[in-house]
Structure 1
Amino acid sequence: MATATAPRTPDAGPQGTDWTVTHAVLRFLRAELGCDRLFTVPGEAFLPLLGRAGEAGLELVTVRHEAGAGFAALADARLTGRPGVLAVNRSPGAANAAIALDAAQADPTALLLVVGGAERGADPRTGFQATDIAAFLGGLAPVVTVTGAAGLPAALERCRRALRAAVPGPVVLVVPEDVWEEPAGPAPAADPEPCTASERRRNGQRTAAAVREALLAAERPVLLAGRLLRGPGGPAERPGALLARLGEGAGLPVLLGNKQQDLLDNAAPCYGGHLHLGTPRATRERLAGADLLVVLGDRADTVHLAGPPPPGLRVLTVHPEPAGPGEPLAADPVAVLAELAGQDWPEAPAARREWLRGWRALETALAQAAPQPRPDGVDFAAVAAALGRRLPPDAIVTLDAGNFSSWIHRHVPLGAGQRQLALAGGSMGFGVPAAVAAALRHPDRTVVAVVGDGGLLMTGNELATGCAAGRAPVVVVADNGSYGTIRGHQDRAFPGRDCGTDLVNPDLVGWARSFGLAAERVEEPHQVEPALRRALAARRGYLLHVRTSLQAVHANFDLPRRA
């Protein structure tokens, strides 16, 4: 259940023998990182942290599995612009939480995993739950181990730098069980940042000048906007208005990076679509006709380009740590966007204006849903289209990984006030914990999780967390009785073979009701609209179990019919 402690201003705490490692860590979380929420599966190796969290103004959210805690913390970080924090117990808890580290690394997000470790000196071979955490998590994130109170200030400063870096990411802080209650000295002042704001601004101006020159020389340019444009301030600095101003002023189509569909109002005249694993072929074919691609706040990876850049396409990547094909421009993408959007642009030539109109027309055509009658279930295009018509203007949509998301990206346009939370790295299990975190963070907004039957039963147990807090999300389950994404690969690579993709699911309506959640089943297309209306009107959560077609496995293609 979610255990809420009323946030309060953190005390400076006793700066003497009563000031412990626990106090110092809590002050770091609250005062240095600005965090007010701690997701956890409680454990005995970090009980002092849990016992004093409320005194420091941190709300404890007790979840049912460490993977759920990690995904919820990731979602909370995306919504607040502050690092997400979770705390787990020894090596089993750390192992369960590792999936969130992988996701935060693949899709840069500031995430702090606090591990209550085994006591100092425990043998990793014979000690209880004493596996070397640095050894098995070190490839996913920096692992900072506090061996005693004397080393705590340096450890916390290392964590702070990783979480506040230009490209944020995950970090692991290991505090052995016998260290928490050690007396600790006052925290030293943070070291100054190596790069000043004026230096970043000057570098941004130089980079913007180079990008402007390339844009003015191009005939068919495209801008790809990525995650780092959200900036360190999170939602308060959403870049949609700047992107729209730049796109419309420069006659520039704006594409959105993988799982970043909410960066720009999808109704904007310059919006040209979203590059993800399910990007329609027509969009990729049109991109192949561009002569310049400016990647701003992301990297041109294999998902964005679906292979090497086509001949004749010049690629410029504006990123603090650029990588990938094309010309690297190391700079703060937020500063570059602000500089470009604030400039006056000459009227684009007629051919350039037609190039932009063609992108907008293509995206409008692709967004039109045309669900077909299916012999084995509901065409999920009908669900996506209904969701697109009925989502409130401030809705938050979370997506799990799976082919069903191709319909959401294609047929659910997002407005300026809506959010979409999804993982570029493709981890299954994100949808429900992320939606629970969103519902707890924004109890006044409609939160909808769209998940497949595979991902639902990985972390759907976190509905217990939301229901216990009295604020569960709406969950729309696309149930085709299969790991559908892998089924598509299976039918191409090993036609007629069984690769273990079939699923036998429980009664999901009964399962949802066992949590105290209202639920219903949708088995026919005509049931979609009224069922969705009831679900969105619910204030304490709802589950729609949609029996979807396996034949219609993806928005872009069907599975071949089997004999």
Structure 2
Amino acid sequence: MTSPVPSPRTGARILVDALLANGVTRAFGVPGESYLDVLDALVDTNVDFVVCRQESGAAMMAEAAGKLTGKPGICFVTRGPGVTNASAGVHVAQQDSTPMILFVGQISRSMRGREAFQEVDYRAVFGTLAKWAVEIDEAARIPEIIARAFRVATQGRPGPVVIALPEDTLSEIATVPDAPAVEPAETWPGLTDMMRLQKMLWAASRPIMILGGARWNPKAVASVVRFAERFDLPVAASFRRQMLFPADHPSYAGDVGLGINPKLVARLKQADLVIVAGGRLGEVPSQGYSLFGIPDPGVPLVHVHADPDELGRVYQPALAINASSAAFAAALEGVQPPTTLAWSGWREEARSDYLAWTEEPPANPGAVQMATLVRYLRALPADTIVCNGAGNFATWVHRFHRFRSFGSQLAPTSGSMGYGVPAAIAAKRANPERTVVAVAGDGDFLMTGQEFATAVQYDIPIVVVLIDNGMYGTIRMHQEREFPARVYATTLKNPDFAAYARAFGGFGITVETDEAFAPAIDAAFASEKPAIVHVKLDPEAITPVASLSAIREKALAAKAK
């Protein structure tokens, strides 16, 4: 059969058709004159274009969408200051291995190299920040480049792609057929690899598994759960990947992240077989690269990753398996346990240690107790999506909340402040039937707090629990530890955040006592509006285990010796 001859189209129309062919139904962005042709081409489509207030928030929303779905989150921004604002979200996508495509308006091709108005060399700027950065030189190549972008963003180790769109390329007329929709390739483990894994498990007496990274889905998580049950195996989650294994399952042993349970560290050091599936075992989960030896980890290590370049990058594994997370999880169904397990009680001990470490947050200084927030979160439905950015406030969420289902956590392994609110907006826009809560710090919130206006504009009823201690708490904690009693540049004078919410047309309420905490959040949900619950936390409540003054006094005593 002869393919129909395509009609002449503008570059912008060709681009939009390529997105539609790949199932794109939502994009985030801030409009700019450099890609007005694309906005016009989107008018007659069903694409939900969420207009944001600043490009970093838009890019973080796209990243969160990619993290939730496994498909590239789509973001459009304008050139120069627009794209440099968006770079924060690109960095999150890179470090978190999230599929994302950032489209950037660009000056006309004839003006390149003159430092024209807002001109940026995107290949140079994003060469090390994105998985691929490219500029489209002719409209006829748009289907080719968009198809490649979807593959690059999703295959191997997922990541961000940055595509520059010169204005005149978007208005140029071309006659070119569309490319077929992209189905990312799965990398499957070899039968020999899985047989070697089975032999290593049969020879072990203290095995443990760590889940991390990307390219997971509910089916893959269920396969790992069955594997853990058949082998009576303790399973831990990497930093901010706790939703990869249900916390209420008897095999769950905790998270390998910041503020890790010391008993879990000891258990990992005692293990005689460590299986790392999907994750990179980077700085945070490796506890500053101190958990295992380098390059010889000192323990039989099985490392499973979709990108062969990640295998042996730091730690040389006894068995390297080049496979995507989902494909490896499916292959685990064929791995058989021995007749008798040699690690009786090993899993039960790990579970007991986890429960003791997370059972109830200790009392903190001040009238409001973080334990109350944790109890509230635990009582929400299992599929509630909890989002956060970066700051000491997140320590309570990561340690004490129990993530029970896949896709219930959105948090940046890159440690980017300002992530929680945009992530919550993206999550609730895509899943209006699910409960979505953003837990934010005061400094964290005001990095992207203007996106609360986006939530109001689109009637996206997220609830932001805003923990206000009047400072950049994590930096203050380190400052007191390194330079005790010499406070400088870490204090914040904050607005009335409840009034801020109401000014935008949302719901706002302030909490200053522990008794008011749960009723305030209940009222926020009942309002059915985007809401901010402004929680005034005592500055002394800096971590679950130490007050700020205790950290200062310990540091002063150490310096006095």
TM-score (norm 2): 0.90
Q: Which residue of 1 aligns with 2:116?
A: 127
Structure-1 residue corresponding to 2:426: 437
Whether the 8 Å CA contact 1:371–1:382 is kept in 2: the answer is no
Matched residue, 1:244: 225
Give 1:336's aligned residue.
328
Distance in 2, matches of 1:441 and 1:412, equals 23
Q: Contact 2:71/2:154 (CA < 8 Å) preserved in 1?
A: no
Find 1:368's aligned residue among 337, 342, 359: 359
Looking at structure 1, the residues matched to 194 and 325 of structure 2 have their Cα atoms a distance apart, in angstroms, of 9
Structure 2 residue matching 1:69: 3-state secondary structure: helix
Q: Is the 8 A contact 1:205 1:336 kept in 2?
A: no
Question: How many Å separate the matches in 1 of 2:485 and 2:549?
Answer: 10
Letter of the 1:257 partner, please give it: S
Where does residue 559 of structure 2 map in the other structure?
A: none
Mapping of residues 499-518 of structure 1, within 5 Å: 499-518=488-507
The aligned amino acid for 2:77 is V
Do structure 1's residue 221 and structure 2's residue 211 form an aligned pair?
no
1:112 Cα shift?
0.5
> Is the counterpart of residue 61 in structure 1 residue 42 in structure 2?
no
Q: 2:350 aligns with which of 350, 359, 382?
A: 359
Q: State the Cα distance separating 1:116 from its structure 2 match.
A: 1.0
Distance in structure 2 (CA, Å) of the matches to 1:192 and 1:546: 46
Stretch of structure 1 that moved more, 535-544 or 456-465: 535-544
1:30 equivalent in structure 2: 20
| 1:57 Cα deviation after fit | 2.6
Q: Provide the C-alpha distance between the structure 1 equivalents of 2:181 and 2:466, rounded to a whole number of angstroms.
A: 48
Matches within 5 A, 1:411-430: 411-416=400-405, 419-430=408-419
3-state SS in 2 of match to 1:560? helix
Counterpart selection for 2:524 from 525, 535, 547: 535
Kept in 1, the 8 Å contact 2:17–2:178? The answer is: no
Matches of 2:428 and 2:369, distance apart in 1: 28
Matched with 1:273 is 254
Deviation string for 1:375-402 (max 9, x for gaps)? 4x523233222322x2123211111111
- Does the aligned pair in 1 maintain the 2:361–2:370 contact within 8 Å? no
Of the three residues 129, 132, 144, the one matched with 2:134 is 144
Matched-pair contact (CA < 8 Å) for 2:98–2:159: yes
Cα separation, partners in 2 of 1:512 and 1:79, compared to 1, 3 Å: same
Shift, 1:334, TM fit: 2.2
User: What do the CA deviations read for 1:188-237 (whole angstroms, capped 9, x no partner)?
Assistant: 656999x976xx44x3433222222212211111101113351xxxx5x4
Who is 1:52 aligned against? 41
Deviation at 1:23, TM superposition (A): 1.5
Deviation at 1:423, TM superposition (A): 0.8
- Structure 1: any 5+ residue segments left out of the alignment? 1-11
The correspondence of residues 165-314 of structure 1 with structure 2, limited to 5 A, is 165-187=155-177, 189=179, 200-201=187-188, 203-230=189-216, 235=217, 237-306=218-287, 307-310=289-292, 312-314=298-300
**Would you say the 8 A contact 2:250–2:351 is kept in 1?**
yes
Name whichever of 431-440 and 533-542 sits farther off: 533-542
**CA deviation after TM superposition for structure 1 residue 161, in Å:** 2.6
TM superposition shift of 1:66: 0.3
* Residues 118 and 176 in structure 1, CA contact (< 8 A), matched pair in contact too: yes
Equivalent residues in 2 for 1:315-334, closer than 5 Å: 315-321=301-307, 322=311, 323-327=313-317, 328-334=320-326
Structure 2: distance between partners of 1:473 and 1:190: 37
- 2: CA distance between counterparts of 1:23 and 1:401? 39
SS of equivalent residue, structure 2 residue 343: helix
For residue 247 of structure 1, report the CA deviation from its aligned partner: 0.9
Q: 2 CA distance for matches of 1:256 and 1:27?
A: 39
Q: Residue type of the partner of 1:168?
A: P
Give the secondary structure class of the aligned counterpart of 1:415.
coil
Residue identity opposite 1:224 in structure 2:
I
2:512 and 2:40 map into 1 onto residues whose CA distance is 48
SS at match of 1:227: coil
Q: Deviations over 1:258-295 (max 9, x none)?
A: 11111111111111111122323232223222122110
**Residues 14 and 192 of structure 1: CA distance in aligned 2, closer, same or farther (over 3 Å):** closer
Deviations 1:112-148, CA, capped at 9 Å, x for gaps: 0101101113255541111222222222112111112
CA drift of 1:417 comes to 6.4
1:528 deviates by: 1.9
- Distance (Å, rounded) in 2 between the aligned partners of 1:527 and 1:345: 51
Gaps of 5+ in 2: 554-561
| Amino-acid identity (%) | 35
Change in Cα spacing, 1:326 to 1:89, as seen in structure 2 (3 Å) is same
Counterpart residue type for residue 302 of structure 2:
L
Residues 269, 360 of structure 1: 8 Å contact kept: yes
Q: One-letter code of the match for 1:426?
A: G
Q: Deviations over 1:468-507 (max 9, x none)?
A: 1122300001111111111121111211222411111011
Which residue is 2:390 aligned to? 401
1:498 pairs with 474, 477, 487, which one? 487
Q: What is the distance in 2 between the residues matched to 1:530 and 1:500?
A: 35
Cross-structure match for 1:5: none
1:336/1:493 CA distance change after superposition, 3 Å: same
The code of the aligned residue for 1:273 comes to: G
Distance 1:393 1:497 in 2: 44
Please give the TM-score of this superposition, normalised by the length of structure 1.
Answer: 0.90
Answer yes or no: is the 8 Å Cα contact 1:204–1:336 preserved in 2: no
Q: Which amino acid aligns with 1:161?
A: R
Per-residue deviation, 1:373: 5.2
- Structure 1's consecutive aligned runs of 4 or more residues displaced over 6 angstroms after TM superposition are none
Residue identity in the other structure for 2:38: L
Counterpart residue type for residue 131 of structure 1: V
CA distance in 1, matches of 2:258, 2:388: 14
Residue pair 1:91, 1:133 contacting (<8 A) in 2 also: no
C-alpha separation in 2, matches of 1:143 and 1:417: 31
Deviation at 1:450, TM superposition (A): 0.4
3-state SS of paired residue (2:109):
coil
Counterpart residue type for residue 184 of structure 1: A
Instruction: For 1:373-392, list aligned pairs within 5 A.
Output: 374-375=365-366, 377-388=367-378, 390-392=379-381
Structure 1 contact 299–324 (Cα < 8 Å) conserved = no
Instruction: Please state whether the residue corresponding to 1:472 is helix, strand or coil.
Output: coil
**Counterpart residue identity of residue 213, structure 2:** R
CA offsets, 1:40-84, max 9 Å, x none? 110111011111213233111100000010011111122222210
What count of residue pairs does the alignment treat as equivalent? 538
